[in-house]
Chains A and B, each alone.
Chain A
Amino acid sequence: MEVGPGHFLLTKLDDVARWAQSSSVWPLTMGLACCAIEMMTVTAPEYDIARLGSEVFRSSPRQADLMIVSGRVAQKMAPVVKRLHDQMADPKWVISMGACASSGGVFDNYAIIQGVDTIIPVDVYVPGCPPTPDGLLYAVNLIQQQIREGGRGGVLARG
């Protein structure tokens, strides 16, 4: 982006589109377990995800850009998560929030999917059990960075 002589800016349409897109990443209202409470906390005053333009949690997957898999995914819930991801319109991003969603966490047993990336593609993993709200905010930051740079996938959010 550069400032031209007089009162106009020169830029590429692609850059403007990406800037707009990255500033309004709307997450899907999908709370699974403990992490869902921390996901709610980022919308509360102390963390205030509205600063990133992501405070609009949408209940319909058709209107959402970002799926935050907030918690352990049980065998029974897995098909539902997959279907919700399928229902989201492209382009879409996924944050795997917490140890359970990323790898099964402490629940290495018959009931829990050992990592949500076995059923849907994940862009950013957030470690923690549950991660702090700061960790989730940083993950959203990384998603924004990915959108601006046009890259995808597999980033570990380390504080």
Chain B
Amino acid sequence: MSTTARPTTPPEPMAPEVVSREGNSMVLSMGPQHPSTHGVLQIMLEIEGETVVKAEPEIGYLHTGIEKSAENLFWTQAQTVIERMDYLAPESNALCYALAAERLLGIEGKIPDRAQTIRVLFSELTRIASHCVWLGTHGIDIGAISVFFYCFDLRENLLDLQEAAGGARMHPNYIRIGGVNGDLPQGFLDRFDALLEKFPGRMRDLRGLLQANPIFQDRTIDVGTLTPEEAVRWNVTGPALRASGIAYDVRRAFPYCGFENYEFEVPTRTEGDAYARFLVRLDEMEESYKILKQVRKRLDTPGAIAIDDPKISAPPKETIALSMEALIHHFKIVSEGFRIPPGDAYASVESPRGELGYYIVSDGGNRPYRIRTRPPSLYNLQVLKHIAPGNLIADLVVMIGSLDPVFGEVDR
């Protein structure tokens, strides 16, 4: 194992002097190892008693250099590292990147219907799975532990589906440029049906545990209130924006993958506090369920699952053993990848956390020249500095939970 990567001069932790102190206040460093910061977030707090006077989030403890790593990989390989950005919603990342690459290739309108349906299926499954983790951990932060068990039980069923289709529980790498990787396996639809049957009851349980719970309401109502003007000014998207009364959803505003053909609501609330964000996310899970039911009907029609373009998609696996041309073709696709014409493109999707965007630049080679992400968590997290002052430290924990940041995505 190489020892060259060992840091010779460890970076200095943020000095307390960075946060100014006045009067009787004291400086408290919360994180980067803290059970309630949802990962490796450090917040330098200036507190007076238990009241937060100033909060300064310090990010970068999970900086992975993903955008740089992606430049050294083929267009398809880059998806491997990209899925590890927002690890709660890997499919959203893969989908967004694929859409941007397809836009640059000029094959946007040529993706087969079945591939689009499967993409919608996985982007909604991953949304429910992500919200399950959010709800479970948010509950733990507030002291409601049992909700965690219910959430992770449901999530396990969702991950089983991902594993069946893509071969891995968390990073299946199933959505590819030009379609998806292989058709849904045998028995998938039966398991999917079982999930659809289980979901409404489980959703009732989740709501029953928290929604009318007076302790939960006391902890979340009027905490971390975000007005619509502030939300827009700070570039907040996703459930946090919709809880402030603005019905902006990328699926509705700039439909992709045929989302315009699905019937669903964009749930909004007007209060803008942590409780409103909680309700919006729960409603979103139910809307995702509605979409999944419509997806289920469409999945009965067979069809192609990737674009019929030998330059981009590999030949079906079963032809490789029978045809020499298919074998050579497969070898070329795997060993050389494909080229994307020079230019740049941007695509965005509605990830569980908000508007996720990928801006990609190609110089005409088989590797990306530059990939830039618009991570919703980063923009949502910056608002913390603004809403935290004047609240108790215990409320700060609720605010972080209700903004639902994922640090793989914030730091990249």
Chain A residues near B (Cβ < 8 Å): 29-34, 36-38, 40-41, 43-46, 57, 59, 71-72, 74-80, 82, 84, 103-104, 106-115, 117-119, 129-130, 132
Is there a chain A Cβ closer than 8 Å to B148's Cβ? yes
| A114 with B5: CB separation less than 8 A | yes
For B80, what are the chain A residues with a Cβ–Cβ distance below 8 Å? 106
Is there a chain A Cβ closer than 8 Å to B170's Cβ? yes
User: Which among B5, B10, B63 is the interface contact of A104 at CB below 8 angstroms?
Assistant: B5
User: Which among A77, A108, A109, A117 is the interface contact of B62 at CB below 8 angstroms?
Assistant: A77
With both chains docked as a complex, state the minimum distance between the C-beta of B292 and any C-beta of chain A, in angstroms.
Answer: 22
| B153 with A132: CB separation less than 8 A | no
A38 to B64, CA, bound (A): 19
For A36, what are the chain B residues with a Cβ–Cβ distance below 8 Å? 39
For A29, what are the chain B residues with a Cβ–Cβ distance below 8 Å? 33, 35
For A38, what are the chain B residues with a Cβ–Cβ distance below 8 Å? 169-170
With both chains docked as a complex, state the minimum distance between the C-beta of A27 and any C-beta of chain B, in angstroms.
Answer: 12
Identify 10 new A-B residue pairs, CB closer than 8 A, beyond the known A59-B35, A74-B411: A44-B152, A44-B155, A75-B5, A75-B11, A80-B40, A106-B81, A107-B65, A113-B7, A114-B5, A118-B5
Is there a chain A Cβ closer than 8 Å to B250's Cβ? no
The 6 closest A-B pairs by CB, nearest first: A44-B152, A111-B65, A34-B87, A79-B10, A114-B5, A109-B65
- B44-64 Cβ-contact flags toward A at 8 Å (1 or 0): 000000000000000011111
User: Which among B13, B34, B60, B133 is the interface contact of A37 at CB below 8 angstroms?
Assistant: B133
| Contacts A46-B156, A76-B11, A106-B81; A32 near B40 (Cβ below 8 A) | yes
| A107 with B81: CB separation less than 8 A | yes
Is there a chain A Cβ closer than 8 Å to B242's Cβ? no
A75 to B33, CA, bound (A): 15
Secondary structure of the B contact surface, majority rule: loop
| A59 with B34: CB separation less than 8 A | yes
A72 to B412, CA, bound (A): 11
A111 to B148, CA, bound (A): 33
| B7 with A117: CB separation less than 8 A | no
| Contacts A74-B62, A112-B64, A119-B6; A132 near B408 (Cβ below 8 A) | no
With both chains docked as a complex, state the minimum distance between the C-beta of B76 and any C-beta of chain A, in angstroms.
Answer: 14
A108 to B61, CA, bound (A): 17
User: Which among A33, A78, A80, A110 is the interface contact of B408 at CB below 8 angstroms?
Assistant: A33
For B13, what are the chain A residues with a Cβ–Cβ distance below 8 Å? 79-80
A74 to B204, CA, bound (A): 40
| A79 with B65: CB separation less than 8 A | no
Chain B residues near A (Cβ < 8 Å): 1-7, 10-11, 13, 32-35, 39-40, 60-66, 68-69, 80-81, 84, 87-88, 133, 136-137, 148-149, 152-153, 155-156, 169-171, 407-408, 411
With both chains docked as a complex, state the minimum distance between the C-beta of A120 and any C-beta of chain B, in angstroms.
Answer: 12
Between A and B, 25 residue pairs with Cβ closer than 8 Å are: A31-B39, A32-B62, A33-B39, A33-B62, A33-B87, A33-B408, A34-B84, A34-B170, A34-B171, A36-B39, A40-B136, A41-B152, A46-B152, A46-B153, A71-B62, A75-B5, A78-B7, A80-B32, A84-B33, A106-B69, A106-B80, A111-B68, A114-B1, A114-B5, A130-B170
For A77, what are the chain B residues with a Cβ–Cβ distance below 8 Å? 32, 40, 61-62
For B137, what are the chain A residues with a Cβ–Cβ distance below 8 Å? 40
Question: Among A30, A78, A111, which residue has the most Cβ atoms of chain B within 10 A?
Answer: A111
For B156, what are the chain A residues with a Cβ–Cβ distance below 8 Å? 41, 44, 46
| B149 with A44: CB separation less than 8 A | yes
With both chains docked as a complex, state the minimum distance between the C-beta of A142 and any C-beta of chain B, in angstroms.
Answer: 20
For B1, what are the chain A residues with a Cβ–Cβ distance below 8 Å? 103, 114-115, 117-118
User: Which among B64, B133, B407, B411 is the interface contact of A107 at CB below 8 angstroms?
Assistant: B64
| Contacts A59-B34, A109-B68, A130-B170; A34 near B408 (Cβ below 8 A) | yes
Q: Which residue of B lies closest to A84 (CB)?
A: B33
Q: Which residue of B lies closest to A81 (CB)?
A: B33
| B81 with A74: CB separation less than 8 A | no
For A112, what are the chain B residues with a Cβ–Cβ distance below 8 Å? 5, 64-65
Q: Which residue of A lies closest to B58 (CB)?
A: A76
A129 to B87, CA, bound (A): 11
| B153 with A44: CB separation less than 8 A | yes
| Contacts A37-B87, A37-B170, A41-B156; A30 near B33 (Cβ below 8 A) | yes
Q: Which residue of B lies closest to A80 (CB)?
A: B32
User: Which among A34, A43, A110, A114 is the interface contact of B2 at CB below 8 angstroms?
Assistant: A114
